[in-house]
Chains A and B, each alone.
Chain A
Amino acid sequence: MNSFDAKRILIACRPGTEDMRDSAVLAALEQARRDPELQQWWEQHQAFQQTMRENFRAAPVPRALRDRILARAKIVEVPWWRGPVAWSAAAAIAILITFFAARPQRPGENSFQTFRSRMVGNVLRQYVMSIETNDMAPIRQHLATNNAPADYVLPQNLARLPVMGAGVMSWQDRRVSMVCLDSGAQGTLFLFVVDGSWVKSSPRQREYAAVNSLITASWTEGGKAYLLAGTGERAWLQSFF
């Protein structure tokens, strides 16, 4: 092994780690013992590597990050009944839910207010994205395949946000599209789209309302009812229109 080859090997070697036990590294170190210039370079390089490791690990971490992580992660933390121990109980609950959901709905339950409340409740409890992608085209295709509204129109500022995925929900025997957008610091923005003819009293003009812990914006366009929901203030949500 010559000094050039030895240098190539030693440049990617971390002193004090298992890298030093590699046979190629050992051969390179042997060459360094024979070549004073290489040895000098190696000694300087070790100091450099150590400093690099210290500096990488010294990068300051924002104080509030830990709390923000926990706050966001716990919104949709998988509940206890996902565990194997409670499968039978979960199955029983699912059967009961299906039974009650299949019952004829009382008149008035297809109001927009009820729709809004149900959709917000769904995402606060738990929701599932049946497709995860940052490309809107396959999302529209997926929704259309599942008979959910796919030809929705997004306001320009909203359309600029990265999309994360989508899911299909049911409400009053109708399919509802749920599109998840990444708003950045405020987390996920949920856009729900449903056939407007199936929702009574849809807002004719844009309407803002706080529902549970989310802020919502609602509007009707092109025969569809839209509901946008997220964490944050009203002014922030307004900025997307």
Chain B
Amino acid sequence: MRGDMDLERLVDQHYAALYRFALSLAGHESEACDLVQETYYLLSTKGHQVNDPSKVKSWLFTTLYRLFTNSRRRLVRFPQHELSEVEQELPGVPPPATRVDWETLSHCLARLDETFRAPVALFYLEDCSYADIAEILRVPLGTVKSRIARGVASLQSMMVEPQHTRH
């Protein structure tokens, strides 16, 4: 790794956010830990390929996402959802903020289609711009926007469901 990218410092800066992203994707603590460890392991061996220190964060999230999709042993296809598809899924009223906690959120994330889970997690977790999310996930900007809209709408629908219908 380049001398100006101290590994320990990079771990301290990003490992918590990376873990939360991994947890959002995988849904399991152990798998999330493995993804983060593997990501930093790759940074320690391939970090010399990252010439711009300001790009390390993006590299980390991109690598972790790639590790996650590879671990599923399937090709992740990116269907082009039109934004209009969101219309039928917009709930009337968002759930009250008091009903949203991490446990509720994690249960709903586990039910959310994997296609939407990653962009939604980046959207809320890191306040990433749409352009950053598109770069990390390697999808077009328009696709990012439609997936976020659809993902958020789906989460809201799950959260306003009556308690007894939740898994």
Chain A residues with a Cβ under 8 A of chain B:
4, 7-8, 11-12, 14, 17-18, 41, 44-45, 47-53, 55-62, 65-66, 68-70, 72-78, 82-83, 134, 162, 184-185, 187
CB of B26 within 8 Å of the partner chain: no
Q: Are B97 and A57 in contact (CB under 8 A)?
A: no
Q: Are B94 and A44 in contact (CB under 8 A)?
A: yes
Interface size on B, residues (CB 8 A): 59
Chain B residues with a Cβ under 8 A of chain A:
1-3, 7-8, 11-12, 15-17, 19-20, 23-24, 29-30, 33-34, 36-37, 40-41, 43-45, 47-48, 70-71, 73, 83-84, 86-87, 90, 92-97, 100-102, 105-106, 121, 123-125, 127, 129, 145, 148-149, 152-153, 155-156
CB contacts (< 8 Å) of A47 on chain B: these are 94, 97
Q: Are B90 and A48 in contact (CB under 8 A)?
A: no
CB contacts (< 8 Å) of B43 on chain A: these are 73
26 contacts between A and B (CB under 8 A): A4-B87, A8-B86, A11-B149, A14-B124, A17-B127, A44-B93, A48-B94, A52-B155, A55-B101, A55-B102, A58-B102, A59-B24, A59-B102, A61-B16, A62-B33, A65-B15, A69-B15, A70-B40, A73-B37, A73-B41, A74-B44, A76-B44, A77-B7, A78-B45, A82-B48, A134-B70
Give the dominant DSSP class at A's interface: helix
Given A76-B41, A82-B48, check contact A11 B90 (CB 8 Å): yes
Q: Are B71 and A162 in contact (CB under 8 A)?
A: yes
Please give me the residue from chain B that is nearest to A48 by CB atom: B94
Question: Which 8 A-B residue pairs are closest in the complex by CB-CB distance?
Answer: A73-B44, A48-B94, A12-B149, A51-B97, A56-B124, A77-B44, A12-B148, A47-B97
